[in-house]
A = this chain, B = another copy of it.
Amino acid sequence: MAGNTFGTIFKLTTFGESHGPAIGGVIDGCPANVEINIADVQVQLDRRKPGQSKITTQRKEEDTVEFLSGIFEGKSTGAPIGFIIRNKDQRSKDYSNIKDVYRPSHADYVYEQKYGIRDYRGGGRSSARETACRVVAGAIAQQILAKEGVRIQSYVSQIAHLELTDDYRDFDLERIEDNIVRCPSEELAQDMIALIDEVRKEGDSLGGIISCKITNPIVGLGEPVFDKLHADLGKAMLSINAVKGFEVGSGFGSVYLKGSEHNDSFEMDGEEITTSSNYSGGIQGGISNGENIEFSVAFKPVATIIKKQKTVDKNGNAVELEVKGRHDPCVVPRAVPIVDAMAALVMLDHLLRLKTVKL
């Protein structure tokens, strides 16, 4: 039983390989009669697209989305929204030399074992190119969530050892796009860019952390006991290529506090109930409490590097691998819109699920 659908009511199914004719997807369950701004969808895609800056892969893809259904005269109709993005700059020849070789920490070996067949060109289905489809659906979800006051803002909070130690509230998250690494601290951003550029020249790669703040006025999102809001956010993030960890609110740091320190006291803010702190990260008992949702996602350094590596081929022969395909020294900045998108899919799905809780 395959796993190419995400969500329960607002559902995205994606398809497509890195070097096939097109990638695409179907959104089923998009609320009807809502305005969809296609230009704004493209804006999100452009934030993810390759070749956007000197620190990303030089593959050139326009990544223009073509909508095929479900939108009529600028509005969603309630019918499924099908869309495709044609692949254009495929240089499949680049990959012929790795047809029989298992690249270290790539999916080559496990795909071969699992399926008995593998489209080796550019990683085929395992390529992060697939995430462009998530961005399309996520962009639509964000447009709908905006009408309900929900705003998602992800940003790079760490690259390698370069960590944003100040509170994100000290920065203006509206200005994330001011630098190509999408870090709210302009100063730290310059260090990050310099570091990435250095590692790019080495033919190596770097990881980092994306943090996300969701301004969420809606109390009640999340479905106990298994589909807790942060459990679904966690799955969403962990399904993104190269992600190795997820934490919500106080996260791994929570283990250093006592309950009396960690509990978020309820207090009144005028007529509204609020909390004095937010170690919960906006989610309690798996359900949103109206405070900001905060989580972080760890990305490993991507496996594709230019440096020579040792590995084996299909027949068990030791080989030395020298990848010739284009290379992305640090995918973290390009992953910011993907984190936004996946967060939006979860938030909108739970918003629609909430509608069924009461008659």
Contact = CB atoms under 8 A, between A and B. Distances in A.
A244 B250 contact: yes
Nearest to A249: B244
A252 B312 CA distance: 28
Interface residues of A, number: 151
Q: Is the interface of A mostly helix, strand, loop or mixed?
A: mixed
B2 A301 contact: no
A161 B147 CA distance: 44
A224 B4 contact: yes
Contact of A102 (B106, B258, B266): B266
B285 A110 contact: yes
Q: How many copies of this kind of chain does the complex include?
A: 4
A299 B247 CA distance: 11
Contacts of A50: none
A111 B256 contact: no
A154 B171 CA distance: 40
A107 B286 contact: yes
A263 B104 contact: yes
Interface stretch (A13-21, A40-48, A52-60, A182-190): A13-21
Contact of A263 (B105, B159, B262): B105
Contact of A116 (B29, B32, B115, B205): B32
A24 B82 contact: yes
Interface string A105-120: 1110111011111110
Among A160, A208, A248, the most chain B Cβ lie within 10 Å of the Cβ of A248
A38 interface: no
B312 A105 contact: no
30 contacts: A3-B226, A4-B26, A13-B13, A13-B80, A21-B68, A23-B68, A25-B26, A32-B358, A33-B117, A77-B115, A77-B119, A78-B114, A109-B273, A109-B289, A110-B220, A110-B285, A110-B288, A114-B357, A160-B256, A206-B255, A226-B239, A234-B238, A238-B248, A244-B247, A244-B248, A244-B254, A247-B298, A259-B303, A263-B309, A265-B309
